[in-house]
Chains A and B, each alone.
Chain A
Amino acid sequence: MSKTFDVIILGGGPAGYVCAIRSAQLGLQTAVIEREKLGGVCVNVGCIPSKALLHAAHVAHLVQHEAADLGITTGPVTLDYGVAMKRSRQVAEQNSKGVEFLMKKHKVTVIRGTGVLQTGRKIAVDKDVYVASKAVVIATGSRVKGVPQIGLDINKTTVISTDEALFLERAPTSVAIVGAGAVGMEFADIFNAFGSKVTLIEVLPRILPLEDADASATLARSYKKRGITVRAGVKVTGAKVAKTEVTLEVESNGKTESVTVEKVLMAAGRALNVEHNGFEAAGVKLTDRGFIQVDANLRTTADGVYAIGDVAGPPMLAHKGSREGVFVAEHIAGHTPHPIRYDNIPSVTYCHPEVASIGLTEEACKEQKLDYQVGKFPLTANGRARAANETDGFVKIIRDTKYSEILGAHIVAAHASEMIHELAVARENEYTVEEIELAVHAHPTLSEAIAEAALDSLGRVMHT
């Protein structure tokens, strides 16, 4: 059987399915090929279920550590990770069904199976061949990976990835998390709240190594206060994997020690899904780093084949992939899409407190020898944060000295993920800190701290 579509998208994750919706909106006959569940890693084993668990973790924290101060007396509290996990599965299922509904609503054909790219914009799925008359879009995404070089291959029992962590029936007694980026930070938060003894290990000198150093420091303090062992600048040099436990050898400052835990969660890097899909044979070249090589319009080296999402390069974020999906759909339809500003993609870690940022860190400004001013406002001086007992954190805005351009913004706050978009909109439209400050901010809100940080960068802070 052979069937022709205008656009065929390989992969139904946040990049692929959004691309499909936009293509369909633009009147293109569109198909998505998905081998697992629609929504991809994000919806099924990533963003969404982990946020459900983080919500559970937050409630666990409130009930145990805050309720009494608020006059709420609870009986003995028991924590059951399995129940929270099951709820997170329901949320994920709902979202995946939601994507299925969206595909139907927009008349996108969903083809189940593994697609193999062939030359001439053809894709084989089992014995069927589908032809894309206009374009093929690769959106195959990425997957978890271990570090076999140091004996930490994912065995799914004692050495696990998020794929397993999201399905555990109970929280491990003790867990070492290798990698303190967003994923490692979030699971440290979750397991800690559910009673695990957590050791967070990061090879770089600080946790959240890609965020501003002030954010890393605040989170390190907050985590230590909660009893999480934070080990930054520490290298895992070896591992003894037994049936029910793992002993890690870690090295810092030339000293080697061992850490024994029930489980190790690997949260350092992801592998790209670029093998077994016929890409190379079809003329799709990879970069040195293993991403699919694309031009400014996200076209690969194969005629009529685009790549979006994780496979197309960093940052490997759902919202970056989705935007690329829209961009590519519009490009295929012959429009001139708004160029993607890769320097203006928000980065968010949903631990407590949350960390959200956009643009340059202060370190990067220094490295680039930019002439900048920093404005910073602590949440301890924010009424809303005090009312909600969420005073851990700050808003930091870095502006260019001469023109007040917003070079970067860093927020650590209970709702940083929701607050960052004020700055995303501002930067996308080239507002300066002055336009931020001139807009009236409602009182009392955490967002007032953004206006105050803007003022502070101009030397006019009011409430500290």
Chain B
Amino acid sequence: MITKVVMEALSPTMEEGRIAQWLKHEGDAVKSGDVLAEVETDKAIMELPARSDGILRKILVGDGATTAVGNLVAVIADADEDISGVVGNGGEKGEKGEEGEEGQTVAAPAAPAASAASAGGEAEGGRIKASPLARRMAGEQGVDLRRVDGSGPGGRIVKRDIAAAAAASAALPVGGAEGWEDVPLTQLRKTIARRLTQSLAPVPHFFLTSIVDMERAAEAREALNALGGEKISFNDIVAKTVAMALRQHRACNAWWQESTIRYFHDVHLGIAVAVDDGLITPVIRHADRKSLREIAIETRALAERARARKLAPEEYTGATFSLSNLGMFGIDAFTAVINPPEAGILAIGAITPTPVAHEGAVQVRRRMHLTMSCDHRVIDGATGARFLQTVRQMLEHPLALVW
């Protein structure tokens, strides 16, 4: 008999557990009641017991990995029983990313859904299953097979997956018509969506923070402003940077639409503006294609019209991603609330001179906290992290903005 071992709720408030250590190993005979693993919960180290007799055939979440309550962590079955229906070939799509090609155990990434979302064709440290045609197309089109979900037999990456991946990351046509692409939700994506929505309804937020060294951005700003004309603010620099980074990370430039995710080919940046009795988010359209100065001028104009309550509806709708800046209020760091259906918002903190280790010496450098709120149904941990990394790198090397 096949018994699925799931992460149990070992404390009343436990939502996920970390496998501290497996006490039984694959191939060990286990009896109901035996302790299979030690699990670190939000409160303590607890024991995960076996609920049936048999052989511990497969461990799906390795030592040190964290997974949500209810997720499959191992399989107990008879010695010769076929467990591929449970562990492989789409049996438990949600756990797909945690399995290797030959089913070898790999450590699950830190957040449960992030683990579930890792690409299906990939086995970390294992072989990527892809057809020769798919490999060739991926090579020519610069598609990273590790980031492609395979839809072929056993999660194999096939031609249509590369076509979809290439379309999703296609370069933006400059001056092209407004465009988007409605990508049907994969089973995996639906599972992630359902799970996270249940746990953190209605929008499953998670947050990523990065501290950015703003010395060079500040120098650049001073130099630009010394040229005269419209003053460039730090907010403008961050806006331009984010818009350009979104071009490289289309996965973050998206709307959650329940049955589809809309990935935009254009970047329309919402910039939260505090008004008398609340807040409104005017939109810089095609922010990625505008110069820093254009963004500065347009932001100023939109903010003024916002405060004067003179924005037209099309001026505060249709954003694909938003920014919120409380730095001017001396807020070092904060988390912003996502404006659905957008999938992300970046919270900008104050730029604060801070003593830090820099090139082997303690220096006082201007630093800024960026905190990104992500809708986990759309953006996974690593996806958001990569985007934020790009933002940071561009801000720390502001010449990137003229690329």
State the A residues within 8 Å of B (CB).
336, 338, 402-405, 429-432, 434-435
Contact = CB atoms under 8 A, between A and B. Distances in A.
B90 A403 contact: no
Contact of A430 (B90, B140, B158): B158
B175 interface: no
Contact of A432 (B90, B133, B153, B158): B133
Contacts of B140: 402-403
B134 A430 contact: yes
Contacts of A338: 153
B137 interface: yes
A404 B153 contact: no
B132 interface: yes
Nearest to B159: A430
A266 to B, nearest CB: 41
Interface of B: 90, 131-134, 136-137, 140, 153, 158-159
A429 B156 CA distance: 10
Given A430-B159, A432-B132, 13 more contacts: A338-B153, A402-B140, A403-B133, A404-B136, A405-B133, A405-B159, A429-B131, A430-B131, A430-B132, A430-B134, A430-B158, A431-B133, A434-B132
Contacts of B133: 403-405, 430-432
Output the residue of B90, B134, B137 with the most chain A CB within 10 A: B137
A430 B163 CA distance: 14
A403 B153 contact: no
Tell me the interface secondary structure of chain A in the complex. loop
Contacts of A435: 132
A429 B154 CA distance: 12
A242 B70 CA distance: 79
Contacts of A429: 131-132
A431 B136 contact: no
B137 A403 contact: yes
Contacts of B158: 430
A435 B159 CA distance: 16
Q: Top 3 nearest A-B pairs by Cβ distance?
A: A430-B131, A430-B133, A403-B136
A140 B159 CA distance: 35
A338 B131 CA distance: 15
A431 B158 CA distance: 10
A368 to B, nearest CB: 16
B27 to A, nearest CB: 28
Contacts of B137: 403
Contacts of B153: 338
B215 to A, nearest CB: 47
A150 to B, nearest CB: 45
A434 B133 CA distance: 10
A435 B133 CA distance: 10
A436 to B, nearest CB: 10
21 contacts: A336-B90, A403-B133, A403-B136, A403-B137, A403-B140, A404-B133, A405-B133, A405-B159, A429-B131, A429-B132, A430-B131, A430-B132, A430-B133, A430-B134, A430-B158, A431-B132, A431-B133, A432-B132, A432-B133, A432-B136, A434-B132
A405 B137 CA distance: 10
A402 B136 CA distance: 9
Nearest to B153: A338
Contacts of A405: 133, 159
Contacts of A431: 131-133
B88 to A, nearest CB: 12
Contacts of A430: 131-134, 158-159
A404 B133 CA distance: 8
A430 B159 CA distance: 8
B84 to A, nearest CB: 12
A403 B136 CA distance: 7
Output the residue of A338, A403, A429 with the most chain B CB within 10 A: A403
A148 B28 CA distance: 74
Contacts of B134: 430
A434 B90 CA distance: 31
A404 B136 CA distance: 9
A302 B90 CA distance: 28
A405 B162 CA distance: 14
A402 B166 CA distance: 15
B136 to A, nearest CB: 5
Contacts of A404: 133, 136
B187 to A, nearest CB: 10
A336 B154 CA distance: 11
Contacts of B90: 336
A233 B153 CA distance: 44
A434 B158 CA distance: 17
Nearest to A338: B153
Nearest to A400: B133
Nearest to A406: B133
Output the residue of B90, B131, B159 with the most chain A CB within 10 A: B131
A26 to B, nearest CB: 12
A338 B134 CA distance: 18
A35 B48 CA distance: 59
A404 B132 CA distance: 10
A201 B25 CA distance: 72
B81 to A, nearest CB: 16
Contacts of A434: 132
Nearest to A438: B132
A110 to B, nearest CB: 30
A430 B84 CA distance: 24
A28 B140 CA distance: 47
B62 to A, nearest CB: 27
A405 B136 CA distance: 9
A391 B131 CA distance: 35
A4 to B, nearest CB: 27
B343 to A, nearest CB: 29
Contacts of B136: 403-404, 432
A434 B131 CA distance: 13
A434 B139 CA distance: 15
B139 to A, nearest CB: 10
A434 B136 CA distance: 11
A5 to B, nearest CB: 24
Contacts of A432: 132-133, 136
A420 to B, nearest CB: 19
A429 B90 CA distance: 19
A430 B90 CA distance: 21
